[in-house]
Structure 1
Amino acid sequence: MPQTAATATLSREADHTDAASVPQGLWRRCKRWALPVLGIVVLGLLLSHAHKVDWAGAWHALQRYPLWLLLGVLALSTASHALYGCFDLLGRLHTRHKLAAWRTWAIAVTSYAFNLNLGSLVGGVAMRARLYARAGLDEATVAQIVGLSLVTNWLGYGLLAGGLFAAGAIDPPRQAHLGVVAFRAIGVLMIALAIGYVIACGVARGKRWTLRGRSVQLPSARLALLQISLSACNWALMGAAMYLLLGQKVPYATTLSVLMAASIVGVFTPIPAGLGVLEAVYLALLSGSVRQGTLMGAVLAYRALYYLLPLGGGVLLYLMLERHASSHPAAAEAG
């Protein structure tokens, strides 16, 4: 009887192992097709939106600028993208995962380039999820990294935009049906939220909460200050790039304010790369200060130097990361 019981137990364990191996085997087979399918989807999205870009207008706008200025704007754009890559390094510090710093940074830069041109679902979420999964990170850790990156981006936005709006750097557009006082009050509220976040991180240090079955912990106050500092510098670099392209004809504070207003409109407008959004916001807020031709030339040049050229670099980084993932086992690096 004991022998029979042991045999039955072994049989049940074997059945359990076989059942568990089915989804694992299915996942291994699916992974073979994941890269080609993702590549086809990305290529399709690129082609579907390529015709919406005024390539001729962008080219003529670039031709009107001196080379030194274009190189300066490209340097600012490159610095901005590189700085954004540090957002995920903050997530690495917070989650304490073991993935190499260079690879973490490269994944963030790649996803940012795709995010700007193809939308947050493709770049900010899908691209990050795939590359981090290929590197061996679990879903909970990836979710924390992506969440912290999003918070970092909007913390700096809130502090800078809140200060500019509260100071009256720009007046609200007529289409917003919002008074000057209300607009400035929103700016004050944005500053308060950014400061409140830092305070909350200091007060809740070490505490954990369970959200949808996952453990969540706020970063330290020191890390929160780093989040705000890096993000604010990133937005300032973006504003500086547009300031140069406008020929310094518009005050820097106003240029940055309009860029931030266009960015928040782009978030609520589900159009990849914000096609048409930047142009519409700049026309609405600066048409009285700058000639339309100059304004559109600056926006098109900005789109080419900040969106399109970095996408080429993002594609190269993506291919490099995929090749590295194929030649280096995930468990060995991320574990």
Structure 2
Amino acid sequence: MKLTERPWWPWAKRAVGIAFMVLVVALLVKYARTVDWQEVRQSVQELPRSVLFQAGLLCAASHLLYSCFDLVGRRYTRHGLPVPQVMSVNFISYAFNLNFGSLVGGVAFRYRLYSRLGLDYATITRVLTLSMLTNWLGYLLLAGIVFTVAPLELPPNWKMDSHGLQLLGIALLAAALAYLLLCGWSKKRSWTIRGHELILPRPRMALLQLAISSANWMIMAAAVYILLQGKIAYPQVLSVLLIAAVAGVITHVPAGLGVLEAVFVALLSHKVPEGQLLGALLGYRALYYIGPLLAAALLYLAVEVKARRHAPIA
């Protein structure tokens, strides 16, 4: 009997996940008690308006670019929803995904909103899958290049050196290139996963996926770099952000709350005072997470109100 066929397995898997999340949260709370929050508050207050404005523009550009990810799915599935509607659904889903996790944002909101717009579940699943794939393909390519060519200079007291990151970078880069090769030369063009048929995109679409996703990750890192006011070289900021992104996914903490900050502090506090690092990251959270979430909530409310007004009367 397979593990997945045993009735206790899903519950055990869920219990382990919850226990791991509780442990992570407990460690983050313990760490938070050691932080000089007065220094952090002062660092936030000292951020120049010009810096906040530039970082805000970059955060807006990132959300705008990410809102185009579902347009790739639109071309891939050939559904006929207008571009503004697709981008609106993508923006709402992404903002809620960032703050509450993929099941709430990336999945639930897409199914609810797209189904109301007339898409069937199979089409929504293909759009969702391609969007998620686009995001992480760009990650693989960019992280592979950065870790291989310009590996992060790790803190002196770390036992691991940069060679480990270089090996990881080579593996990530190989994975991204393998996807391109599959899209270009694989004779088998489709697979069935959990009852859903997935068809390999053409090489041009695969290149577009890599390009827009890589650009998005770079813009996100640029926003953090601006908020740090050039105290850390951009390639290092990009490397740490990429590491923090995976750490947030592994820990399953909503919005990666505390995880992003902990990774930056662990890897860069030997170069920049902890208070300044946390001040910049809190500014980043406000601009990239909280601000777009408020905008997405208002947009979603408007969509719901419009849907109710046009709902047929029973």
Q: Same fold (TM over 0.5)?
A: yes
Matched, 1:150 2:132: yes
Any unmatched runs of 5+ in structure 1? 1-51, 331-335
Map of 1:123-162 to 2, 5 A cutoff? Answer: 123-162=105-144
Give a deviation string over 1:226-284, Cα, whole Å, max 9, x none: 00000011001101000011110110000111111111100001111111101110111
Shift of 1:59: 6.6
Task: Label 1:260 to 1:174 Cα distance change in 2 as closer, same or farther (>3 A).
Answer: farther
Give the Cα–Cα distance (whole angstroms) in 2 for the partners of residues 57 and 321 of structure 1: 42
Secondary structure of residue in 1 paired with 2:197: strand
Map of 1:1-12 to 2, 5 A cutoff? Answer: none
Larger radius of gyration: 1
8 Å contact from structure 1 (residues 131, 322) kept in 2:
no
Give the Cα–Cα distance (whole angstroms) in 1 for the partners of residues 144 and 252 of structure 2: 24
Map of 1:1-335 to 2, 5 A cutoff? Answer: 61-171=43-153, 178-204=160-186, 207-327=189-309
Give a deviation string over 1:172-217, Cα, whole Å, max 9, x none: 6799965533321110111111111111112247833333333221
Secondary structure of residue in 2 paired with 1:124: helix
Residue 23 of structure 2: aligned partner: none
Give a deviation string over 1:78-104, Cα, whole Å, max 9, x none: 010010010000000000011111111
Give a deviation string over 1:93-135, Cα, whole Å, max 9, x none: 0000111111111101111110111111101111111111111
Aligned length: 279
8 Å contact from structure 1 (residues 242, 302) kept in 2:
yes
Give the Cα–Cα distance (whole angstroms) in 1 for the partners of residues 163 and 151 of structure 2: 13
Secondary structure of residue in 1 paired with 2:192: strand
Task: Label 1:63 to 1:138 Cα distance change in 2 as closer, same or farther (>3 A).
Answer: same
Secondary structure of residue in 1 paired with 2:252: coil
* Amino acid paired to 1:116: L
8 Å contact from structure 1 (residues 58, 304) kept in 2:
no
Give the Cα–Cα distance (whole angstroms) in 2 for the partners of residues 56 and 315 of structure 1: 31
TM-score, L = length of structure 2:
0.82
Any unmatched runs of 5+ in structure 2? 1-28
* Amino acid paired to 1:170: L
Instruction: Give me the CA root mean square deviation.
Output: 2.5
